[in-house]
Amino acid sequence: MHVVAWWKYVLLWPLALVVRLWGMTLRVEVTPEDRARLSKRDVPMAVVLWHNRLFMASEVYHRFRKPRPTYALISASKDGALLVAFFSMVGGMKAARGSSNANGREAANALVELQRAGHDLGITPDGPKGPRYVLKPGVVIVPRRTGAPLLLLGIDIQSAWRVKSWDRFYIPKPFSKVRLRGEIIENHELANRDAALAHIQARLLALNPDGEFPGTGETQT
């Protein structure tokens, strides 16, 4: 497992501070009903968001999920080590380091243990390499074992730069408006895996409008 050199921490710290302050400038809009769902902390949850909305992960944590830690699976590679260091500074996410070998059993077991210990999990169901907005079956594997509900995040960024990456990553412009929504999928709704995956995919697309991608942002139910 790679360890980040001290001098890289020195370089990452200013970036983490900028990102944290940047997020604090955003004008977040949320209805009372969505606020209640986003802030539901009586049980650990699997928090699900598209990969290109990850910039907002720290803000969602600080504004709604704190103080329960949120863990996400991050690889044991050099890039993974840098992500661990960065998120430890900006806050909002901790790392479950490990390999996804053996058909993901090692990774799933690590996450199951963390959730059973009372922690939230963070899941980007189209990550880490896409395709964009295509749900992978792994999104329901751990929650089905732990009994945890899913919290689907809707993040509508009104003004943003888009990175030329596979997911067209969003970087919200400072002081821009961000509309947040939350939708809870109860664990019993995951019993039929295929039906659950289809429903989660449809709801995430509806909750996250993207002007570049047809079929997103439909009328909400």
How confident is the model over 100-133, as pLDDT tens digits?
555 467 778 889 999 999 999 999 999 888 999 9
Each residue of 132-183: pLDDT tens digit?
999 999 899 999 999 999 999 999 999 999 999 999 999 999 999 999 999 9
DSSP class of residue 62 equals I
- Close Cβ partners of 54 (under 8 Å, ≥ 6 residues apart): 124, 169
User: Are 115 and 121 contacting, i.e. CB atoms less than 8 angstroms apart?
Assistant: yes
Rounded CA-CA distance 127/115 in Å is 20
- Give the contacts of 214 (CB within 8 A, at least 6 positions apart): none
pLDDT surpassing 60 at residue 40: yes
pLDDT digits (tens, 9 = 90+) for 8-32: 778 888 988 999 999 999 999 999 9
Q: How many CB atoms lie within 10 A of CB 54?
A: 19
CA distances from 191 to 55, 60, 140, 214 (A): 31, 28, 10, 30
pTM strictly above 0.85: yes
